[in-house]
Homo-oligomer: A and B are copies of this chain.
Amino acid sequence: MHVMTGKDAVGGGLRERKKRATRAALAEAAVRLAAEHGADQVTVEAISAAAGVSVRTFFNYFDSRDDAFVVVDSDASERVRQAFLAAPPGLPPLEALREALAAELREAERQHELWSLHARVLRSAPHLLVRNLGAQMADESGLAEAIARRIRAGDGSVPSESDADRATPGLYPRLLAAVAGTAVRVSVQHWCERADEVSYADVFREVFDLLAAGLPAPAR
């Protein structure tokens, strides 16, 4: 029931602002405590206390304890969808998606600090990493819908929502959305382990080149 609709635009009322502040405080407390004492040693009570609210209030904001650790930047996926739909009409879907993701990832590289903290927590808690995949899958559905919309309006026409898009997307949109998510995950993972050797932009480009080429056997 805490869907936090698209009204993330700067809050007008005091209520909205306070709600987001509380939510942010809970999430930040959760991550900081997890980074210090280990994720599974952090109780809801500790998180709530650190955020200055009651335990019951915690569950008013998060459906489960683990949800406080996962990053749900709902704006990011929306930006990617918009950038994808706004790409030049002639561009193939995979290329349009590559550009949209690249732009968003460049943007995300600015908050490198908080991102790194989350990464450390998730690395030591595979259980939470699975949760993140769940969030990623939720985005997948929306992205698949956007892909279906763009394909439907393959010509230069303006892609707008229609009832047909709301229905279950076809196989191709789903596959492309899922593969794109996988590509991001793998590239980030690979780059994190060899950050000194290569730039992320290069890894990202190589991954999408491989996908566009049909994953051919690499030259030896």
Q: Which residues of A contact B (CB under 8 A)?
A: 92-94, 126-127, 130-131, 133-134, 137, 151, 154, 168, 171-172, 174-176, 178-179, 181-183, 185-187, 189-190, 193, 203, 206-207, 210-218, 220
Which residues of chain B come closer than 8 Å to A187, judged between CB atoms?
171
B210 lies within 8 A of A175 (CB): yes
How many identical subunits does the complex contain? 2
Which residues of chain B come closer than 8 Å to A182, judged between CB atoms?
175, 178-179, 181-182
| Shortest distance from the beta carbon of A31 to any chain B beta carbon, whole Å | 21
A130 lies within 8 A of B126 (CB): no
- 15 additional contacts, CB 8 Å, given A93-B215, A174-B186, A211-B214? A93-B217, A94-B216, A126-B134, A130-B130, A130-B133, A130-B134, A151-B220, A171-B206, A171-B207, A171-B210, A174-B189, A175-B215, A211-B211, A211-B215, A212-B215
Nearest B residue to A132 via CB reads B130
A212 lies within 8 A of B214 (CB): yes
- Pick the most buried of A92, A93, A171, A185: most chain B CB atoms within 10 A of its CB: A171
A186 lies within 8 A of B178 (CB): yes
B193 lies within 8 A of A168 (CB): yes
B151 lies within 8 A of A217 (CB): yes
CA distance A217 to B154 in the complex (A): 9
